[in-house]
């Protein structure tokens, strides 16, 4: 039997830390549950020492995820390791991932230490982490620019100290595939105890080589690949796991390895990560882009009609793509909606059928017919904005004229109270609604980005508004969905208000427990 490649996802750590706005605990849990459904082997869910919010997220995810191993990041510092272990303490089995710069550049300009001091720090940290778990991963940060002699030495020492996984990162995406593959090959030739650990790689995409370097590493013996869904991450991002996985499946003839990933979850997981992280997927993105399985050329279309294999090396069904159907109307019952969600792969526990059906009926009355992507959008937004919600949009009324003047009256439920405010502005109806909402909430918010997307096709398509705001030096992302643009804009801002309110509650709770 060919070797298994361990798939290590760091979307919630390396991916999340590069986003414009931090994710809430609820958003991280949604992504973690999607990764678990996809049967990711290991998920790195945070850097607990970095903030109270990150610590709380790791702790809450650890309580929920049952079938994927949880991992937390720590510097080679005892306090970091203690906090990482504490965040995962509800688990019987978890991984601590410690890292340390090993290139001359990182040692001398960042850490101000020589190589012998770096080796001592690595050994001591690994041994210290073994107090909490036997599953220790050690990363040689900037391994791609570390001399091969130093890299071999520290890898040997780290394994002797108890590291069970050794990660070789191309931290700045500098190496080319043949170079990176040779680094892994030399480690296997020169490190005497290399068979005592799993060799992992973590490649960045600064030169567009992350997936190529990961595949080259597999050919040279690496058996764990680290990356993110959709390739999100620092700067140009990480290796896109969906590309690595499908390359392994498609090129068995060359790679002779396998994964246990549930590939039919790839498309859905990709959409969830894109939506929650507010990072649209480019149309030409490999595997998951909207054009990945579309054909425009007449020659290509003719070839596809005769045999899809002429121009498709992957079947769209493998990653969970299904044809869009027009099978639901306002006359459809709750059972039909639930059945359609089941056909699309959703379990009852992943959405609220009562809330979804109410939203479905409202949309069906407006559109007449409801598409699969409409249902998915409604289910996603409902899940994002589930109770408890402190703020709830009760009513709004807007009047605007061609002169640019707009007046908005908004009624907002705030906990057990209801408030109504109005605002007038020369910047249009959306700005008027936002000013009225800010009067009620009292939050001093700076709107940094406003984006409108059509979810579906035609004049009755749902309008999704994504906004990014700044509040007290933190950024928050909000989503709103409705057939009316002003309504979806209002919902997006109320979504933000609730995120701010929940963030305040987390800090208050943590302060009480200190």
Domain ranges (residues) in the chain? 3-277, 328-380, 391-513
Mean pLDDT of 393-406: 89
Comparing CA positions, the residue from 445, 424, 430 lying closest to residue 482 is 430
Top mean-pLDDT range of 126-130, 303-307, 324-328, 446-450: 126-130
Residue ranges at the known binding site: 14, 202, 204, 238
Check whether 1 has a pLDDT greater than 60.
no
Residue with tokens 């849990």: 29
Asked if pLDDT for residue 262 goes beyond 60, the answer is yes
- On the question of pLDDT at 337 being above 90, the answer is no
Tens of pLDDT along 201-213?
Answer: 999 999 999 999 9
Per-residue pLDDT, 323: 54
Model pLDDT, residue 463:
86
Q: What is the 3-state secondary structure (H, E, C) of 364-402?
A: HHHHCEECHHHHHHHHHHHHHCCCCCCEEEEEEEEEECC
Lowest mean pLDDT among 67-76, 226-235, 301-310: 301-310
Assign domain 3-277 to a CATH class: alpha beta
Q: What is the pLDDT of residue 312?
A: 84
Core vs surface per residue 62-77: b (16+ CB within 10 A) or e: beebeebbbbbbbbbe
Q: How confident is the model at residue 18 (pLDDT cuts 50, 70, 90)?
A: confident
Write out the binding residues for Mn(2+).
14, 202, 204, 238
**Helix ranges, 109-228 (H):** 115-129, 148-161, 177-190, 210-219
Please tell me the least confidently modeled range out of 198-207, 261-270, 327-336: 327-336
Tell me the per-residue pLDDT of 25-60, one tens digit each, with 9 for 90 and over.
Answer: 989 999 999 999 999 999 999 999 999 989 999 999
Q: Is the pLDDT of residue 299 over 80?
A: no
CA distance 120 to 116: 6
What was the pLDDT predicted at 352? 87
- Per-residue confidence at 326, pLDDT binned at 50, 70, 90? very low
Place of tokens 């030409």: 284
Which CATH code fits 391-513?
3.30.160.270
* Eight-class DSSP state of 342: H
Does residue 95 surpass a pLDDT of 60?
yes
- Per the prediction, the chain carries an average pLDDT of 90
More confident site: 411 or 348: 411
Q: Which of 131-141 are b and which e, b meaning 16 or more Cβ less than 10 Å from the residue's Cβ?
A: ebbebbbbbbb
């Amino acid at each position: 039997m060919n070797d298994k490649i361990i798939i290590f996802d760091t979307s919630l750590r390396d991916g999340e830390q590069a986003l414009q706005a931090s994710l809430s605990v609820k958003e991280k849990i949604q992504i973690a549950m999607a990764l678990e459904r996809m049967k990711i082997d290991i998920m790195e869910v945070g850097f607990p020492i970095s903030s109270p919010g990150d610590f709380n997220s790791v702790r809450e995810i650890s309580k929920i995820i049952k079938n994927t191993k949880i991992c937390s990041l720590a510097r080679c510092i005892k306090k970091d390791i203690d906090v990482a272990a504490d965040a995962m303490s509800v688990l019987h089995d978890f991984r601590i991932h410690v890292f340390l710069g090993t290139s001359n550049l990182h040692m001398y300009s960042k850490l101000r230490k020589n190589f012998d001091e770096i080796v001592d720090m690595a050994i001591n940290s690994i041994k210290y982490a073994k107090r909490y778990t036997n599953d220790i991963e050690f990363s040689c940060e900037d391994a791609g620019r570390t001399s091969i002699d130093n890299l071999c030495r520290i890898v040997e020492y780290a394994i002797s100290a108890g590291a069970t996984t050794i990660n070789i990162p191309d931290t700045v995406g500098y190496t080319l595939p043949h170079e990176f593959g040779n680094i892994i090959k030399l480690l296997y030739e020169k490190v005497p105890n290399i068979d005592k650990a799993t060799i992992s790689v973590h490649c960045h995409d600064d030169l567009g080589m992350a997936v190529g370097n990961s595949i080259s590493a597999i050919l040279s013996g690496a058996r764990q690949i680290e990356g993110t869904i959709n390739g999100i991450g620092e700067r140009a991002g990480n290796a896109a796991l969906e590309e690595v996985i499908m390359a392994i499946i498609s090129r068995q003839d060359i790679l002779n390895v396998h994964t246990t990933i549930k590939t039919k979850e790839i498309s859905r997981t990709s959409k969830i990560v894109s939506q929650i992280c507010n990072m649209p997927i480019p149309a030409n993105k490999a595997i998951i882009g909207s054009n990945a399985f579309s054909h425009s050329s007449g020659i290509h279309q003719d070839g596809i009609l005769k045999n899809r294999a002429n121009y498709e090396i992957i079947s769209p069904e493998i990653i969970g793509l299904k044809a869009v159907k027009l099978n639901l109307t306002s006359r459809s019952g709750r059972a039909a909606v639930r059945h359609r969600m089941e056909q699309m792969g959703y379990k009852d526990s992943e959405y609220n059928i009562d809330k979804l059906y109410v939203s479905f009926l409202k949309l069906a009355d407006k559109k007449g017919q409801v598409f699969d992507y409409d249902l998915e959008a409604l289910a996603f937004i409902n899940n994002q904005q589930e109770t408890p919600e402190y703020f709830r949009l009760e009513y709004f009324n807007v009047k605007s004229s061609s002169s640019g003047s707009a007046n908005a009256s908004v009624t907002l439920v705030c906990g057990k109270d209801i408030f109504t405010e109005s605002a007038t502005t020369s910047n249009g109806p959306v700005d008027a609604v936002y000013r009225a909402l800010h009067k009620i909430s009292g939050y001093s918010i700076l709107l940094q980005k406003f984006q409108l997307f059509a979810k579906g096709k035609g004049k009755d398509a749902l309008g999704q508004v994504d906004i990014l705001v700044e509040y007290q030096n933190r950024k928050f992302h909000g989503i709103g969905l409705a057939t009316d643009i002003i309504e979806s804009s209002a919902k997006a801002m109320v979504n933000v208000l609730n995120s701010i309110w929940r963030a305040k509650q987390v800090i208050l709770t943590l302060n009480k427990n200190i």
